[in-house]
Amino acid sequence: MSSEKTYSDEVIEAWNKNPMMIPRIRKVTVNISIGQGGEKLVRIQDLLTQLTGQRASLRVAKKTIRPFGIRKGENIATMVTLRGEKADAFLRKALEAVGYRLKRSSIDAFGNISFGISEYILLPGAKYDPEIGIIGMDVAVTIERPGYRVERKRIKRSRIPLRHRVKPEETIALLTRDYGVTFV
């Protein structure tokens, strides 16, 4: 056995020394876009509400794209933002749907991660609806450290320095430790 420390061991050791450095999941955003409105979008909105346990909202097109038949102001997608226990519970379902395997390239420079689920029926507890068909979804996980409120508050707002931002390696360590994710 080698006594060499891996980067994730060093990260976890630093977290143990300073609890303000431990990153946490701020929110999980789930998006389903079909590019058209109508009855099918309303059914998908109800499905997303059922899967997440929180009411989904409709999203409108920001500009007209003629080749796709999309007009500005038309409802084309539905999404929901989850926080707290709901975010944790849905993230566990979503990770189970992808087999607890994610790509390293899906992590951005600030430690946030996004991945897709090809079929909603892969989520535990989801039942196939023939009126909707097979539809996929995008899951975006925002990760931050304690103290990020400084950047969002109204009075005495300040910037978060780069040294306090979450690094991709720390996201890997967090998801591996707490959720058992393996990165490819």
147: CB partners within 8 A, 6+ apart: 20, 160, 164
Structure-token pair, residue 66? 């003629």
Structure-token pair, residue 135? 């539809």
Would you identify the CATH topology of the domain 24-183?
50s Ribosomal Protein L5; Chain: A, (3.30.1440)
pLDDT higher than threshold 60 for residue 181? yes
The pLDDT, as a whole number, for residue 10 is 85
Sequence spans of domains, the chain:
24-183
Where do we find the tokens 């789930």? 30
The pLDDT, as a whole number, for residue 35 is 81
Of the candidate ranges 3-12, 81-90, 151-160, the one whose mean pLDDT is the lowest: 3-12
Round the average pLDDT of the chain to a whole number and report it: 91
94: CB partners within 8 A, 6+ apart: 28, 30, 115, 117, 123, 139
Predicted structure pTM score: 0.89
pLDDT higher than threshold 90 for residue 70? no
The pLDDT, as a whole number, for residue 4 is 62
For 101-129, letters b (16+ CB in 10 Å) and e give ebeeebbeeebbbebebeebebbeebeeb
For 15-65, how does the pLDDT look when each residue is reduced to its tens digit (9 = 90+)? 889 988 899 999 999 999 988 888 899 999 999 999 999 999 999 989 988
Question: What does residue 138 show for φ and ψ, rounded to 5 degrees?
Answer: -105, 140
When pLDDT is cut at 50, 70 and 90, the band that residue 1 belongs to is very low
The pLDDT, as a whole number, for residue 5 is 62
Q: What is the mean pLDDT of residues 127-148?
A: 92
pLDDT higher than threshold 80 for residue 8? no
